[in-house]
Structure 1
Amino acid sequence: MRYCSLGSGSRGNATLVEQGNTRLLIDCGFSLRSTEQRLAAAGLSPRQLTAILVTHEHSDHIQGVERLARRYGLPVFMTAGTARALDVGSLAVERIALDRDLEIGELRITPVAVPHDAREPCQFVFDNGQARLGVLSDTGTITPWITECYSGVDALFLEANYDPQMLAAGPYPASLKARVGGELGHLSNQQAAGLLESIDRSALRHVAVAHISEKNNRPELALGELSRVLAGWQGQLLLAMQDQGLPWQDLSQLNHHHFADSGSR
């Protein structure tokens, strides 16, 4: 199993997970043309995709979903609440039930209910039988269920959206600050670090920091908070950026323990 980010942040999100010939696109928050270009940079044509999984209906996650799905005849998986919020019309939508796993091709997927200001949002854990990859962003609070679902993963693509002091002093209006920092908003650097502290990390070899705010955070602040919790950890800490995303990461090659801080320098 391997994965990459086509871009992560408030201007658009899309993540690819691949196992054999199964290729899943989690969210598509870019225009159709930008998505095609980003896929090409990752060495893929949209025709090679198996399906699109949607976490929730916010535009930075769904902007390109409908056009991509229609043009390339791709099935789209989402919760019933997300489908209602989107008014998907004639789109071929497969419903995700939050109380059961689903299997697409060679991957088993656990949908994880998360607290976020959307209709029925979820995040995902992917399992190929040998390794588990957790994807977690757009979450305002770490719940016991989240801690349980992400314990024991081999790799974690984890939101560290904002630094509380930067958010408080930043340019957002008070209502938006309250939303981002609220229980249905996003994870702060400290909350992301808290999740890492609370989960079983015995299999964890790889953490990619994602969805970093360009206005309310800095990569080095996020990496600093997580590094503090991971002191002595023999794994890789990486950064998914808004424009460059994150290149392919192969989970089968993560047994070679080394720690790499790939900050924004």
Structure 2
Amino acid sequence: MLERLGRVGLDVESIDALLVTHEHSDHVSGVVRFAARFGIPVVLTHGTLAALGELPAAAPAFRVIDSHAAFALGDFEILPYPVPHDAREPVQFVFSDGAARLGVLTDCGRITPHVAEVLGGCNALVLECNHDPDLLRASSYPAMLKRRIAGNFGHLDNTQAAGLLAQVDQRRLQHVVAAHLSEENNRPELACQALAAVLGCAPDWVAVASQENGVGWRQLG
């Protein structure tokens, strides 16, 4: 975490809170220890907190949020919204400073009308493009895991992410980032092509967040 903050020119003192979407290990491993070590509050739903199980004595401060109610954090209004995923009470977030809106969607099995409504009118979107259906079917993953990933409570494929873009109000959209790509079951060029086809732009206009390096800063306004 400290290394990744350093890559984008930040230090731990700049973190006001850690927002947790759900309790799966690739999202919470290390969160409690990191937050406790540096005195950073953790923001999460009641279901996610309950799913963490027994906590260490040196646990951080937790701020439990309603999955449908906006809350303030510093100069930002943050709107959590529930998503279909195989977790206890999973949410994703839309961030706003009153002028610009950033919508984030990963770990979602299907697009609901509420998801499309919440993400409409954003200036930037970070969208899960987890897999290509053909690559997933041909992969070395066990059959049960393939069904979970492709199911209604699993992860969005490139076509589903593109379908969401086709539904939302794009008039203010300045940036689109493809995220949460599977290293085995997807390719960056496939995700970019799917999203670009809906946006009517060149594939290289769509950014890709990698597991190793994330994505660079983007200016909204």
Alignment of 1:78-93 (within 5 A): 78-87=44-53, 89=55, 90-93=59-62
The residue that corresponds to 1:210 in the other structure is 179
Q: Does 1:219 align with 2:188?
A: yes
Does the CA contact (< 8 Å) of 1:205 and 1:236 recur in 2? no
The residue that corresponds to 2:141 in the other structure is 172
The residue that corresponds to 2:104 in the other structure is 135
Question: How many residues of Structure 1 are paired with residues of Structure 2 in the alignment?
Answer: 217
The one of 153, 160, 164 aligned to 1:191: 160
SS at structure 1 position matched to 2:127:
strand
Supply the AA of the counterpart residue of 1:162: H
The CA deviation at 1:232 is: 4.9
Does the CA contact (< 8 Å) of 1:212 and 1:241 recur in 2? yes
Distance in 2, Cα, partners of 1:99 & 1:207: 24
Distance in 1, Cα, partners of 2:211 & 2:33: 21
Alignment of 1:1-265 (within 5 A): 35-87=1-53, 89=55, 90-232=59-201, 236-252=205-221
Report the RMSD for the aligned CA atoms in angstroms.
Answer: 1.3
Distance in 1, Cα, partners of 2:60 & 2:145: 32
Distance in 2, Cα, partners of 1:91 & 1:178: 36
Distance in 2, Cα, partners of 1:53 & 1:128: 17
The residue that corresponds to 1:4 in the other structure is none
- Give 5+ residue unaligned stretches, structure 2: none
Higher RCO structure, 1 or 2 (CA under 8 Å, sep 6+):
1
Does the CA contact (< 8 Å) of 2:39 and 2:60 recur in 1? no
- Give 5+ residue unaligned stretches, structure 1: 1-34, 253-265
Does the CA contact (< 8 Å) of 2:131 and 2:185 recur in 1? yes
The CA deviation at 1:62 is: 1.1
Q: Deviations over 1:213-247 (max 9, x none)?
A: 001001111111111111158x9421111112111
Does the CA contact (< 8 Å) of 2:40 and 2:60 recur in 1? no
Greater shift, 210-219 or 89-98, is seen at 89-98
Greater strand percent: which structure?
Answer: 1
